[in-house]
Amino acid sequence: MVYEATVSAPVNIACIKYWGKRDTKLIIPTNSSLSITLSQDHLRSTTTCRADPRFERGDRLWLNGKEEVIKENGRTWVCIEELRRWRRAMEEKDKKLPELSEMPLRIASYNNFPTAAGLASSASGLAALVSSLSTLFSLPQTPSQLSLIARQGSGSACRSLFGGFVAWREGLASDGSDSMAQQVAPETHWPEMQALICVVSDQKKATSSTAGMQATVETSALFRQRLQVVPSRMDAIESAIKQKDFESFAKITMADSNTFHACCLDTTPPIFYMNDVSRSIIQLIEQLNKANGKPLAAYTFDAGPNAVIYTLDKYMPVVIKAVQRFFPPAQDLEDRLNVMPAVEKAGFPMMFDESKVVKWEKGAVKGLIHTTVGDGPRVMAREEGLLNEVGEPKVLA
Amino acid sequence: MVYEATVSAPVNIACIKYWGKRDTKLIIPTNSSLSITLSQDHLRSTTTCRADPRFERGDRLWLNGKEEVIKENGRTWVCIEELRRWRRAMEEKDKKLPELSEMPLRIASYNNFPTAAGLASSASGLAALVSSLSTLFSLPQTPSQLSLIARQGSGSACRSLFGGFVAWREGLASDGSDSMAQQVAPETHWPEMQALICVVSDQKKATSSTAGMQATVETSALFRQRLQVVPSRMDAIESAIKQKDFESFAKITMADSNTFHACCLDTTPPIFYMNDVSRSIIQLIEQLNKANGKPLAAYTFDAGPNAVIYTLDKYMPVVIKAVQRFFPPAQDLEDRLNVMPAVEKAGFPMMFDESKVVKWEKGAVKGLIHTTVGDGPRVMAREEGLLNEVGEPKVLA
C-alpha cells in the first residue's frame, strides 16, 4: 500500500494588499486582504507527498528538483507538524487507521512558472504543500481551517486554498485562531474577469517582503492611516465583486496598490518595488481609463516591479494592444486563450492621448501572461505524482 | 529723479515640505514647513522695479528678457497691488512723499540658474519681486510681514525672504494674516552645512506642484496622517538645527521627503516626481550612511527628480566622490568652492558596500551644483539694474 497524494494549487494576486504582521511568529496580519485566484491552467505549484514506514527517518523535501532543508521550527516544518498533529488525533480516535503520522515523509514540489518570471511562488507552493498533506492524511478540516496552517507557512498562501475571489480575515484572537481565508465569490461568479501579468525587467535586488513589511510597521508614519482605511476598502471591494461593478473594483484595486507602495516609500530606509517601467504602465492604464471615461483596467503591483492588470474580457484586447505598443515584450505572448485575433482588430479609445505615455525599448517588459480567474487546489491522479519508486523526485534540478 | 530698486533673492530647499493648501486663493498651507536658504553666490533671481509717471499706463514685466502678461487677479498682480496699497497708505499719511503708487511700473527679472537645471524659480523669483518693490516703495514692513504678500505669489517664496534656516508657520487665522515666514537661525549659525544639487535627467513632464498638491489633499487616504506628523517633525528639526545635531536633522529631512513623495504616490491618479535615478541616489546615500554608522548626508526631493543632498563640509568631499562614481555627470563640476582637491583624496567609509548601489551611465545625472547656506535678499547697486533708459530689459531673451 502506497500512501501518496498529489495536489496542485494556484497563484493569487491581491487587490487589497497584505503588508504587516501583528504577530510575526503566528503570521497574524495587521489588516485583512483580498485576492483573486488565477487559473492553474497557466500558473501552478504541484506537490506530491508520500508517507512510507520504510523511508529513512526524517522528512525530506525537494523544490523544483533541488532538496531544501526543512529547518526545525521553520515555517515549512510548522505546517507539516501541525497537519501531522491533526492526523495523529484522528488515528488516536480510530485505531484502524494506518499510522501515517508516524511515518517519514517525502515531498516534491514543482512550480510551472516561466523561467525568470519573477513571480512569487511561496503562496501557491505552501498552499500545494498543505493541500497535498491534508489529502494524504484524509483530514476532515475545511479549506478555511487549513488556511490557518497555510497562513503560518506563508501569509498569502492561505488565500490560495480557494478559487475565485478570496478574503483573508485578519481576525481578533491573539492566537490567530480566527485569522483565516474565506471565499467571497467562486471563480464562476464573474467569468468576464481576466488578468494580464506584465513581467518587468529589473536590475535591483528587491527587499524581501518578510523584512520589508516589518520595517514598514516599525518606521512608517503613514502606515497606521492605511490600517484605518483598509476596512472600508474591504467592504467596498467585496460589494463591488458581488455586484460585478468593475468600475468600483478597479478604483479600489489601484488605490490600494498605490497606498501599499506609498507605505513602502515612507519606510526608513525607503523600500522601492516599482521602477520606471512599472510607473509607465500605471501611466498607460491611467490614460486608457481617462480616455474611456471610466476604468477599463486596474493595475496592481506586489513586492516587485511586475504589473498585474485586471480587466474584463471585452477590454483585454485593447489592453494587450496598448501594452505591446508601449512596452514591446522581448517574448511573444503564448496565446493559450486565443486573444490575438481580437488584439489585431482592437482600437484605442477615441480620446486616448498617446503623447502622455512613455514608449519603452523592446524588452523593458520581458513577457506577458494572459490568464483568467481560476479554481482552488486540485487533487491530481496518481500518475501525475512527482516522486519515483524510492521516494525521490522524478525530475531533478 | 529715477525711482528704481534692484534686489536679488535666493532659492530655498525645504526639509519639511510644503504640500497642500487649506485656502487656494490666499495660499494658506495645510502644514508648516522649514527650508534652508541657499547661497545667492550660486543661484539667485534678480529683479529691478522702476516707477515712472512718464511710462505708458499699465504695469509691464519681463522674465529672463521675455515679456509676461500680468493677469488681473493673478498671483503676480496680487503681490504688486498689495504692496502698492501699503505704499498708498504711506503716501496718504505723508503728503511730501512722491506718489509712486500712482505710477506705472516696469519690472525685469532674471534667473542665473544653469540652463535646463530644472530648478524651480518661482520661490526666488517672487521673493525678488516682493523685495525689490518694497525697497522701491521704501516700505517699513518687516520681512515676516512681506512674507504674507510673497506667500500669495508663490507659497514657498515666503521662505526666500530670509537667509539661513527658515520656517513658514501655517498660522490659524482664516484670512492668512498669521501664515508667515520667520527665521529659525541665521546663515552664520551653522556654517558647516552645505548642499549638493544633483540635476537629474527626466523624459517625463511632471505634474505641476499647484495641481499636484490639491489632488493629494482631495484624494490621498494617507495625507491626513502626514498632517498629524508634521508638527512634531517641525519641533524636532528646529531643535536639531539650534543644537547643530546633524544626525537628527538628516533623519527628519529624509523621512519627510519620503513621506511627501509617499503622499504623491497615494494620490489618484498617482503622482511620481522621483525616477529610477532619484531612487538610486537615495540608495547611495542610505548605503553611505549605513557604512558610516550614522547619517553623513541627507537627501531631499522636491516636485521633480533632482536630488538636493545636505551634508556638512567635512563630509562633502566623500559625497561628491560617491555621486561622481555612481552617476558620472555629463558636465564637470563648476568648482567655485574649491572642493575637488579634497574629493580626489577622499575615501569611502570602510563598511561601504558598493555592490548595493546601481551604477549609472554617464549623463543620468546632468550636473552637480555645490553650494552653501546663504543670506536673504540683497539690495543691489543702481548699476546692477536690469532695465535700460526707456524701461525695457537690458538683455532680451
B291 touches B109 (CB < 8 A)? no
* Dihedral of the alpha carbons of A21, A24, A27, A28, in degrees to the nearest 10: -50
Average pLDDT, chain B: 95
Q: CB distance from B2 to chain A under 8 Å?
A: no
Q: How many CB atoms lie within 10 A of CB B135?
A: 18
Taking 70 as the threshold, does the pLDDT of residue A205 lie above it? no
Grade residue B395 by pLDDT with cuts at 50, 70 and 90.
Answer: confident
At residue A37, the 3 state secondary structure works out as strand
Mutate to test the interface with A, among B219, B229, B258, B361 (most CBs of A within 10 A): B258
User: Minimal Cα distance from A277: which residue of B?
Assistant: B276
Burial (CB count <10 Å: 0-12, 13-18, 19+), residue B117: middle
Distance of CA A77 to the CA centre of its chain: 21
Mean pLDDT for the stretch of residues A305-317: 97
A71 touches A356 (CB < 8 A)? no
Taking 70 as the threshold, does the pLDDT of residue A259 lie above it? yes
What residues of A are in contact with residue B282 (Cβ under 8 Å)? 269-270
> C-alpha distances in angstroms, B174 versus B73, B100, B169, B234?
20, 31, 14, 22
In angstroms, the first-to-last Cα distance of chain B is: 29
A101 touches A88 (CB < 8 A)? yes
Q: CB distance from B268 to chain A under 8 Å?
A: yes
Domains parsed from chain B with CATH numbers? 3-189+376-384 (3.30.230.10), 193-372 (3.30.70.890)
pLDDT value for A118 = 64
Rounded CA gap, A333 and A322, in Å?
A: 14
Picking from A221, A272, A279, the nearest residue to B225 by CB comes out as A221
Helices marked H in chain A: 75-93, 122-136, 143-153, 209-219, 223-242, 246-265, 276-292, 316-326, 340-345
Q: CB distance from B272 to chain A under 8 Å?
A: yes
pLDDT value for A206 = 72
Residues 234-253 of A with CB under 8 A from B: 251
What residues of B are in contact with residue A203 (Cβ under 8 Å)? 358
**Beta-carbon contacts below 8 Å between A and B:** 76
Taking 90 as the threshold, does the pLDDT of residue B116 lie above it? no
pLDDT value for B362 = 96
Residue type, B70: I
Cβ neighbors of B177 (< 8 A, separation 6 or more) are: B148, B171
pLDDT value for B115 = 54
A303 touches A206 (CB < 8 A)? yes
User: Which sign, positive or negative, has the C-alpha torsion A298, A271, B263, B370?
Assistant: negative
Beta-carbon-side half-sphere exposure of residue B220 (alpha carbons within 13 Å): 34
Mean pLDDT for the stretch of residues A140-169: 97
Rounded CA gap, B304 and B308, in Å?
A: 11
Answer whether the bond into residue A269 is a cis peptide, omega within 30°: yes
Taking 70 as the threshold, does the pLDDT of residue B205 lie above it? no
Give the position of cell 475565485. A164
Higher pLDDT, B229 or A205: B229
pLDDT value for A115 = 54
Instruction: State pLDDT tens for residues A364-381.
Output: 999 999 999 999 999 999
* Dihedral of the alpha carbons of B346, B352, B354, B355, in degrees to the nearest 10: 170
What residues of B are in contact with residue A204 (Cβ under 8 Å)? 358
Q: How much of chain A is in helix, strand and coil states, percent to nearest 5?
A: 35, 20, 40
Helices marked H in chain B: 75-93, 122-136, 143-153, 209-219, 223-242, 246-265, 276-292, 316-326, 340-345
Beta-carbon-side half-sphere exposure of residue B327 (alpha carbons within 13 Å): 28
Instruction: State pLDDT tens for residues A63-75.
Output: 999 999 999 999 9
User: Which sign, positive or negative, has the C-alpha torsion A214, A218, A219, A225?
Assistant: positive
Give the position of cell 505669489. B153
Of B228, B82, B71, the C-alpha closest to B152 is B82
